[in-house]
Amino acid sequence: MTSTGIDNNAVIKVLNKILEAELAGVVRYTHYALMIVGYNRIPIVSWMRSQATESLTHANEAGELITHLGGHPSLGIGALLETHRHDIGTILTESLEHEALALAEYNNLLELVNGHNVLLEEYARRMIAQEEMHLGDVRKMLTKPGE
């Protein structure tokens, strides 16, 4: 434990999981953008590429916090499993699953730092809010009109 009341090693471990998940998001969304076909391709590709960029930003933030705490950022990358079915519904469902895993890690971080470290607590809360909004957007995209 540090003087701030957090277990640095546990926090760094979770931040590395976040870093790996976000790097997987970069690869995943870049791949998805390449695989989209059909008459809605242009706006969906644009959205996927913006998600890849956002994932890279999130990975950088996690890495900076790891080094801030004296840790070493992982060179690993999260799971990149895919169904090899590239219709938009399947891609969005895979995206939903990936984002839910990232959200779980941000919630794990918040549990570790809540009430002990304002920097990390605010970071975790901000990221949880962003991930929840993103999950909501994907759920809306998966909803058929009239449902």
3-state secondary structure 75-142: CCCCCCCCCCCCCHHHHHHHHHHHHHHHHHHHHHHHHHHCCCCHHHHHHHHHHHHHHHHHHHHHHHHH
pLDDT in tens, 46-79: 999 999 999 999 999 999 999 999 999 999 999 8
| pTM assigned to the model | 0.92
The domains located in the chain, with CATH, are 8-142 (1.20.1260.10)
State yes or no: pLDDT of 84 exceeds 80: no
pLDDT in tens, 3-60: 467 899 999 999 999 999 999 999 999 999 999 998 889 999 999 999 999 999 999 9
Asked whether 113 and 6 are in contact (CB, 8 A), the reply is: yes
Here the tokens at position 29 are 């969304």
Our measurement of the distance from residue 85's CA atom to the centroid of its chain's CA atoms, rounded to an integer in Å, reads: 22
